[in-house]
Structure 1
Amino acid sequence: MITLHDVTLTFPDGDRLITAVDRVTLRGENGVVTGITGPSGSGKSSILALAATLIRPDAGRVLIGDGADAIDAARLSRTEATALRRERIGIVFQQSNLLPSLTAREQLRVMAELGGGSRARRSAVRAQADELLEEVGLADHADRRPHQLSGGQRQRVAIARALVHDPDVLLVDEPTSALDQERGAEIMRLIARLTHERDTATLLVTHDLVHRDALDALVTVVDGRIARAPARVE
């Protein structure tokens, strides 16, 4: 579970401050895909960056987990936030950002070496690589490099890579923006299936509501504020 509680984020703009996120409260439940939509520049990606601990809010809390065990990421140092991100948060960006020289399998296995960890943990991550590639339908493409994959296939590798540490939270930014409608629908269905099967709390930013049937809940952001509270998608 992830909870953004009364978070505010500002940026300097000359002599004044621009409020990108204005006292937003939002919860991502386990096993639920919560879509975040709104016009361009409304603050959607800033909310996702706060959830990812990539930036720190001016005020408010970013809680990873639930109850007494929840960690307030807004209070962590940069080193602590990096460790939390590595262990408990998976991120999928608009572009797949795959390393050109690595195969699909290696894209996942390299995550085992980032940040150290025990030998057993690194071994478990490496072993899970092939399982995840099979889950996203790319078992037969494990030895292919990015230039040998389609856009949809590259995005599938990116999703598998984000899940390789079995995170509590999955954050996805415009996963269909570079794909045609058919491939976009496939990616959205894949994210929904993996969220439900793995009981992950997923926040997904999208401007394209053609695929809203893959979402479990939807929240609308306008001018940095929640304009429409999360509602179940029928």
Structure 2
Amino acid sequence: MITLDDVTLTFPDGDRRVIAVDHVSLTAAPGVVTGITGPSGSGKSSLLAVAATLIRPDSGRVLIGGPDGAPVDAARLSRREAAALRRERIGIVFQQSNLLPSLTAGEQLLVMGHLGGARDGGRADRAGRGGGRHRVDRARVAELLDAVGLSQHADKRPAQLSGGQRQRVAIARALVHDPDVLLVDEPTSALDQERGGAVMDLLARLTHERGTATLLVTHDLVHRGALDRLVTVVDGRLVPETAGAALHAA
């Protein structure tokens, strides 16, 4: 689970500061895809960056489940501590797949495993579904590539994959360490409608199966059926969900 509690973020603009996120409170529950939408420049990506611990907010808390079940306030962590939390408990999928061109699909995941390192007390361990360290080896890579429908493409490099397939590799890579939180930024922006729908359906299925708390920024509501919940950001503030529903219906 991840909870943003009264989060405010500002950026300098000459002799003043511009508010990007304005006292936002939002919780993403395990096994639920929470979509975040709104006009361009409304603060959606800034909100996601705060959730990802990539930017420290001016005020408020960013609570992420800790190894013992107690939440950790990521807004109070040092840069080193935030980076460790991000590696171990947060999966991030960007608009572009950002795959390394010289590595195969399988190697992309193995490299992420070596960078992040294995961790004890993963969600499976805490729920009593297994014990020991979570190793990122070739068996783990094969499992994840199979989960995203790419088991036959493990040895292909990005140039040999379609845009949708590259995004699937990026999703598998984000899940390498079985994160508590999955943060996704405009996953369909570079895809046609059919491939975008397939990626959205995949994210929904993996979220439900793995119990991940997923926050997904999107401007494309064609695929809103894949979302369990949809919130709207306007001028850095969350619009009440009933008002947001009316906006999307209009």
Task: Report the Cα offset of residue 193 of structure 1.
Answer: 0.0
Q: Which residue of 2 aligns with 1:100?
A: 101
Q: Which residue of 1 aligns with 2:196?
A: 184
Please point out which of 146, 166, 169 is paired with 1:154.
166
Check conservation: 1:125, 1:165, Cα contact below 8 A.
Answer: no
TM-score (norm 2): 0.89
| 1:171 to 2:183 alignment | yes
Task: Report the Cα offset of residue 43 of structure 1.
Answer: 0.1
Q: Which residue of 2 aligns with 1:22?
A: 22
Q: 1:117 to 1:213 in 2, by over 3 A?
A: closer
Q: Which residue of 1 aligns with 2:112?
A: 111
Secondary structure at 2:27's aligned position in 1? strand
Check conservation: 2:24, 2:238, Cα contact below 8 A.
Answer: yes
Give a deviation string over 1:99-145, Cα, whole Å, max 9, x none: 00000000001112114457x85744543111000010000000000
How many matched pairs?
Answer: 233
Q: 1:35 to 1:115 in 2, by over 3 A?
A: closer
Q: Unmatched 5+ residue regions in structure 2?
A: 120-131, 246-250
Task: Report the Cα offset of residue 205 of structure 1.
Answer: 0.1
Identical pairs, percent = 76
> 82-91 or 120-129, which moves further after superposition?
120-129
Secondary structure at 1:176's aligned position in 2? coil
- Paired AA for residue 190 in structure 1: L
Q: Which residue of 2 aligns with 1:226?
A: 238
Q: Which residue of 2 aligns with 1:209?
A: 221
* Distance in 2, Cα, partners of 1:177 & 1:103: 23
Give a deviation string over 1:134-169, Cα, whole Å, max 9, x none: 010000000000000000000000000000100000
- Paired AA for residue 204 in structure 2: A
Give 4+ residue runs of structure 1 displaced > 6 Å after superposition: none
TM-score (norm 1): 0.94
Q: Which residue of 2 aligns with 1:91?
A: 92
Give a deviation string over 1:178-225, Cα, whole Å, max 9, x none: 000000000000000000000000000000000000000000000000
Please point out which of 106, 125, 136 is paired with 2:148.
136
Check conservation: 1:5, 1:25, Cα contact below 8 A.
Answer: yes
Secondary structure at 1:18's aligned position in 2? strand
